[in-house]
């Protein structure tokens, strides 16, 4: 088993993904808002996304890099 540090709250956890069980619902919600925003807006910067969705820059950048890895079109 590998211990990971939750990227949202910093607590240690053992599970799949980047966030702990406590943060998973909020992370899913943020990811949904992020996806919805980039699908409905063109030429947006990470800063625009953060300001308009209320998602922290750190999480916006994380979602962006994950999207790039999965080849999802922005
Ligand atoms: Zn957490």
Q: Dump pLDDT digits (tens) for 10-66.
A: 999 987 788 999 999 999 999 999 999 999 999 999 999 999 999 999 999 999 998
Cα-to-centroid distance, 13 and ligand 1 (Å):
8
Cα-to-centroid distance, 26 and ligand 1 (Å):
9
pLDDT, mean of residues 66-74? 59
Ion ligand 1: residues, CB within 5 A, are 6, 8-9, 20, 23
Cα-to-centroid distance, 34 and ligand 1 (Å):
19
pTM of the model: 0.82
Per the DSSP assignment, residues forming a β-bridge with 12 are 5
Q: Cβ(12)–Cβ(5) under 8 Å?
A: yes
């Amino acid at each position: 088993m590998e211990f990971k540090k939750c990227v949202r709250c910093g607590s240690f956890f053992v599970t799949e993904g980047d966030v702990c069980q406590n943060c998973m619902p909020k992370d899913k919600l943020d990811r949904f808002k992020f996806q919805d925003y980039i699908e409905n807006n063109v030429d947006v910067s990470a800063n625009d996304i953060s300001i308009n969705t209320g998602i922290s820059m750190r999480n916006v950048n994380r979602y962006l890099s994950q999207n790039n890895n999965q080849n999802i079109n922005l």
